[in-house]
Structure 1
Amino acid sequence: MTPLLQGVRVVEVGAVVLGPLAAQILADLGADVIKVEPLSGDVARESHPQGASDGALFVNNNRNKRMLALDLKRSEGRAAFARLVATSDVMLHNMRIEAAERLGLGFEAISAINPRIVHCAAIGFGQRGRYRDRPAFDDIIQAASGLAGLAAQQGGEPQFIPTILADKVAALHIVYAVLAALVARANGREGAIGIEVPMFEAMASFVLNEHLAGATFADDGALGYPRVLAADRRPYRTADGWIAVLPYTGDQWRRFLDEVGRGEICEQAWFADPRVRQTRIDDLYAILAETLPQRSTADWVAALSACDVPCSEINMLEDLLTDPHLAEVGFFDVGQGFPEDIRRSLPQPVEFAGVSPVGNIAPGAVGEHSRMVLRECGHSEAEIDALVAAGVLREDTARRR
């Protein structure tokens, strides 16, 4: 944890990955993040594989938070939540708008409680468009945004990228939007700030960044970035495995072609002009496919690294666990205070000079900090006891060890 956002309180009403990952990043930066769960807990706690108590998906998206378990469907729960919102700087959720409004979590209701709040709704589709009420999951957004269709434009069939990319990309949009709003407030901007982060629009922007291409300038302009969509742009076989090689600049292509004994291509007129060379990218990639099977992966990595041509062996997931670079930077270090069954943790891949990090806090049990948080919001012990007795509040101090 890097204590840069100390003094900022964030209330997260999030589940699975989208909201929880964004809130975890803010927590990793030092914010006091209070995760409000239903009494049964975030459904990600049941994800596979299961640790001693919680699933891996929950563990990897909920460190450095305090856990409050509150029934927001009950009026007593909403009243307690309102007192928490009144003491907070940010409130974020990743519920469908209709459900959030029913629970009193919409911008109007929350800003009426706290007129200085930063309110962020992470949703599937922007509320000004016709898709606003559609349910959204990662596969749906990959399909709608054009991401799944890119493989078809390379000559194959549409396919999903096998990671929950849309959730994670949208989570990063949440983080910068919340930080921008906090800076604006610190600079004297008055009033609540409402933020809407729709997954569909976030991923459409992500996909079209390079692929908007000719449509940037003309209604009938061709879409697609040719180099990226080239059929032969892919991992290449070597004599004993697979490798990624990406000569990008003219100089890098020259060095690669010299290395494989095809330097005469550099003398061709089309090669000298980057715009013309791009139209022949399939010819160049075909040379990669023809020549790379002639040597081992290790030989290619050594040779191409020596002549400064970008390359990498193709890692499988298990290779990352033993990658020497990740080991040297302490990528999987858990730190102190985590349950024994958590062998690895995933850091934020950002380092700050001049700021001393402090230890991370393991994800807590459902309601582990309920009493502590409500006490800070001004509830008496008798009021807290009454909420527990009424089945509105859950407290569980039995953290896993």
Structure 2
Amino acid sequence: MSGPLAGVKVVDLTTVVVGPICTRTLADQGAEVIKVEAPGGDILRYLAAGSRTPAMSGKFINFNRNKRSIGLDFKQPEGLAAMKALIAEADVFVSNVRPSGLVRAGLDFASLQAANPRLIHCSILAFGRGGRYFNRPAYDPVIQSMSGVAATFERATGEPRFVPMVMTDHTTGLIAAQSIGFALYRREKTGLGEAIEVPMFENMASFVMTEHLGAATFEPPEGPTGDGRLLSPYYRPLPTKDGYITAHPNNNAQAFAFLDAIGRPELKEDPRFCSPIARTHHAAEFFELRCEALKAKTTAEWVEIFTAADVPVAPYSTIDDLLDDPHLQEVGFWNFDEHPTEGRIRRTSVANRFSGGMREETLPAPQLGRNTREVLAELGWDEARIAAMLDSGAAFEGVK
């Protein structure tokens, strides 16, 4: 195993998306990740259509590669003891369990620190400590609704809606992985671990408001919140004669080339469009102009014209189009593996590259409890103790 995180051991007590995307990111960079699952397993095993075998949905497979799975029942003393023994040997512990649940189980940072002072303890929360929402449960739609993500659609289209991806989970999970990297770097300098709390609500409120605080940055405000360009109903792929296209001129050279291409060179002298600040103040008019002009030709015609003029342009791609995108094919984005239970599967590659080395092997997303025996054996527990745990249900293999 290679990669920048080779040698880092991670105990992963997360479910659904926000935690698993964090730990998959660590695993993809070479960390050894042990996914600890309670009876029934991660609910994501069941939350997507298209599975071939029970508890192995396509979505679960995509978020849990490069991990091993151990099944433990924390309600039984031996199950909880195994969990604490794993964490005592780990570099990183990641959970998206509510803080009150961690405290009850003795898995909070204060309880674990004495046994492992080098531990990086990362708790992904719905809401940050100190506020009235702390310890409430939440999923991605709740955070999209509260953080202003859904409100951006209302400002743009008149109706609030969710981004049709679990975007707040993805974003927060990646921030958690980044934070763990920061903490590991500090530990190299100090020798000490630390607790990290990564709240979904505050991170996404920051994400939205960094973009849309706008004139309310100033106190008192110099104008309304919101970036009018991004909240325009025309900020989307625009219709052509036969489909959709995104043409996005920004600086003067691009904007003037765009105006030449659509046959409106006189607008380069128009005070509404003659500079970046003018086009910002008149974004609604500039965007509407673009929308109307692009209807005159086909997508392929516009792509050829704008590419020749060095105007940023892209044809609109469907989700299915990405499966055959030539650039993704050329950079090796898609990989095909033989999964031990699911047969031939398609997976994405790691997009980022490190000249010092990447993870060389890829572990298939594990069946529930597939690695229970081997992980317990690595703790030094003998066959008799492991067998007793399996008999009692304190540890388990497979769906129960």
TM-score (norm 2): 0.94
1:39 counterpart residue number: 39
Give unpaired runs (5+ residues) of structure 1: none
2:21 counterpart residue number: 21
Equivalent position SS for 1:121:
strand
Offset at 1:86? Answer: 0.9
Q: Deviations over 1:91-122 (max 9, x none)?
A: 01011122222222212122233121100110
Choose from 359, 363, 366 the match for 1:364.
366
Q: Deviations over 1:132-151 (max 9, x none)?
A: 13221111100101010112
1:204 counterpart residue number: 205
2:346 counterpart residue number: 344
> Compared with structure 1, are the counterparts of its residues 358 and 152 closer, same or farther at alpha carbon in structure 2 (3 Å cutoff)?
same
Q: Quote the Cα distance in structure 2 between the aligned partners of 1:253 and 1:295.
A: 18
- Contact 1:339/1:362 (<8 A) preserved: no
- Contact 2:10/2:90 (<8 A) preserved: yes
Identity %: 39
Equivalent position SS for 2:258:
helix
Choose from 139, 145, 149 the match for 2:151.
149
Amino acid at match of 1:68: I
- Contact 1:336/1:360 (<8 A) preserved: no
Moved more, 154-163 or 59-68: 154-163
Amino acid at match of 2:319: L
1:392 counterpart residue number: 394
Q: How does 1:140-219 map to 2 (within 5 A)?
A: 140-190=142-192, 192-219=193-220
Equivalent position SS for 2:79:
helix
Q: Aligned-residue CA RMSD in angstroms?
A: 1.8
Choose from 246, 250, 259 the match for 1:248.
250
Give unpaired runs (5+ residues) of structure 2: none
TM-score (norm 1): 0.94
Equivalent position SS for 2:219:
coil
Of structures 1 and 2, the one with the larger relative CO (CA 8 A, separation 6+) is: 2
Offset at 1:396? Answer: 5.1
Moved more, 345-354 or 383-392: 345-354
- Contact 2:28/2:359 (<8 A) preserved: no
- Contact 1:2/1:355 (<8 A) preserved: yes
Moved more, 366-375 or 44-53: 44-53
Offset at 1:275? Answer: 2.1
Q: How does 1:87-102 map to 2 (within 5 A)?
A: 87-102=89-104
Q: Deviations over 1:277-333 (max 9, x none)?
A: 311112211211111111111111111111111111111111111111111122120
- Contact 2:147/2:204 (<8 A) preserved: yes
Q: Quote the Cα distance in structure 2 between the aligned partners of 1:371 and 1:65.
A: 15
Count of residues in Structure 1 that have an aligned counterpart in Structure 2? 396
Q: Deviations over 1:66-95 (max 9, x none)?
A: 111100111111111111111100001011
Q: Quote the Cα distance in structure 2 between the aligned partners of 1:204 and 1:13.
A: 25
Equivalent position SS for 1:82:
helix
- Contact 1:338/1:361 (<8 A) preserved: no
Moved more, 374-383 or 34-43: 374-383
Q: Is residue 301 of structure 1 aligned with residue 286 of structure 2?
A: no
